[in-house]
Amino acid sequence: MRARDHREPKLDGGQAWVIAVASLLLVSFGMGGMMSLSVSLKDLSAEFDWPRSLPSLAYAFFMLGIGSAGIIMGRWMDRAGIGPPLLVAALIIPSAALTVAHVTTAWQLYIVYGVMFGFLGTGVLFICLLTNATRWFKRNRGLAVAIVASGQSVGGAIWPRLIEFGNAEIGWRATFTVFGFAAFLVMLPLVLVINRKPPVEPVATSGALRGNGGITLRDNLPQIVLCAAILCCCVTMAMPLLHMAAHVSDVGYTLRRGAEVLSFILIASFVGRIGMGWLTDRIGALKSMLLGSFLQAAGTAVFVVTDNLSGIYAGAIFFGLGFGGLVPMYAVALRDIYPANQAGWRFGTIFIFGALGMALGGQVAGVIFDLTDSYQLAFALGLLFNLFNLALLVCAMTTTRRPRPALASPQGIR
């Protein structure tokens, strides 16, 4: 009989932080597929003589793929552990990049981005890695989830410049090929680092609701409210993220200024994500999400009432600080309420509604602009959805009255 390993992993221990950093790197690398499409959009259109809408539709399929991955991949992780789904993603994302390098028709591009990059790739990474982080941390759970989610921001800062340089020097097909081989070399070792069985969390602190396993309407009410909340906040989120550069140019400034405003939003989102994670560990996820939602609403309100560039920059900072931490903190809120063995599918289900909200918000803003020749009414509608989000978060706080459980010390109360 093998002796028991006295170096078993601990909640919030050194191994947990290694996994958090490795997860950040894996998310950052996984973002390369989406960034490659954004940067290569004009090159694809030019080579195949496509209207811009054809390669743009691949992004829509990508988002639908990510959303549809939610509950399926989350439940798979709950049953099989983090290793199998991560291994699939680490194999599929590089394969997808190598496949894009040989596409000749639009439908091939849609399949690659919808099924490979979206459903089997990025969707798996985001859902599984955020959920996995909640299982390795208790005291610093919010900060850890924020660090993992920040891989999106890191990837967004690094990949566009590298891909643009590659496209200019060796062409978009060769750039996808190089990215594919690099992804194989980097992502698979990171999976080996992350593929560890998480610590066993004491039953008394593994979730606020015990009930009968979370199968009654009463047990699932917080989940239902949070699904509606993320739908509303993501409708608001998508409008400035997708249309801000165009809005700034429409009100009399250059596209370069519009891109700078978008960069301000993304930089502020990184700060807000880490800050909200830190705050969550001190006051709880739902309370910190209320603050984030209020800041996002404040930024959106500024976009409604002013077209002055200084005002837009100020609104961008408020908006970015708010939206940056909102989506990742839904994972933390769920783990405050439900036990670890339900975390994957529950966050996956919520993520479906988030993806739907993002798709709906971006599309509605475009339709409103076509009808009114302005984004002002769209931002006003986004503000209304944000107010619904605030109300739903308050409702979520009332559906589970027990306080966020504290980490129990193995040695007892000190």
Ranges assigned E (strand) in 257-403 = none
Output the 3-class SS for 263-289: HHHHHHHHHHHHHHHHHHHHHCHHHHH
131 and 35 within one domain: yes
Q: Give me the amino acid identity at 100.
A: V
Could you tell me if residue 3 is inside a domain?
Answer: no
CATH code for the domain of 261 = 1.20.1250.20
Q: How far apart are CA 213 and CA 221, in angstroms?
A: 13
Q: Are 87 and 191 in contact (CB under 8 A)?
A: yes
For CA atoms 317, 144, 154, 115, the dihedral sign is: negative
Number of domains comprising the chain: 2
Examine the fold and report which residue of 167, 182, 200 is the final residue of a domain before the chain moves on: 200
What pLDDT shows up at residue 208? 52
pLDDT of residue 56: 65
| CA triple 199-214-149, angle to 5 deg | 50
Contact 225, 396 (CB under 8 A): yes
Distance CA(141)–CA(62), nearest Å, equals 29
**Looking at 222-330, which runs of residues are DSSP E strands?**
none
In a domain, 112, yes or no: yes
CB 316 within 8 A of CB 248: no
| 219 and 352 belong to one structural domain | yes
Residues 6+ apart with CB under 8 A from 27: 125, 126, 129, 148, 149, 151, 152, 154, 155
* Ranges under pLDDT 70 in the chain: 1-7, 38-39, 41, 52-53, 55-56, 201-217, 255, 400-414
Q: How many residues does the chain have?
A: 414
* 137 domain-assigned: yes
332 and 279 share a domain?
yes
Q: How far is CA 387 from CA 235, 268, 304, 311, 319, in A?
A: 12, 21, 14, 21, 14
In a domain, 412, yes or no: no
User: Domain boundary at 158, 182, 200, which?
Assistant: 200
State the pLDDT at residue 81.
87
Indicate whether 29 and 109 sit together in one domain: yes
User: Of all helices (H) and strands (E), which one includes residue 185?
Assistant: helix 172-194
In the listed set 177, 200, 223, which residue is the last one of a domain according to the structure?
200
Q: What is the pTM of this model?
A: 0.76
Same domain (yes/no): 296, 354: yes
Tell whether 158 and 235 lie within a shared domain.
no
The reply to whether 169 and 264 lie within a common domain is no
Do 171 and 45 form a contact (C-beta atoms < 8 A)?
no
For residue 208, the surrounding DSSP H or E stretch is none
Q: 101 with 39, same domain?
A: yes
Q: Do 295 and 163 share a structural domain? A: no
**Could you tell me if residue 410 is inside a domain?**
no
Task: Please report the pLDDT score of residue 374 as a whole number.
Answer: 86
266 and 387 both lie in a single domain: yes
Query: What's residue 48's pLDDT?
Result: 84
Residues 145/131, Cβ–Cβ less than 8 Å? no
**Which two structure tokens, joined as six digits, stand for 4?**
């028991």
**Quick one: tokens of 260?**
């700078």
pLDDT of residue 170: 92
Q: Which two tokens stand for residue 298?
A: 């404040």
Contacts of residue 213, defined as CB under 8 A and 6 or more positions apart, other chains included, come to: 219, 342
Rounded to the nearest 10°, the torsion over CA 144, 150, 155, 161 is -140
Does residue 344 belong to any structural domain of this protein?
yes
At which residue do the structure tokens 């709880």 appear? 284
Domain that holds residue 257: 204-399
Question: Do 380 and 350 lie in a common domain?
Answer: yes
Query: Do residues 157 and 23 both lie within one domain?
Result: yes
CA-based nearest residue to 194, from 41, 325, 29, 43? 29
- Residue type for 330, please? Y
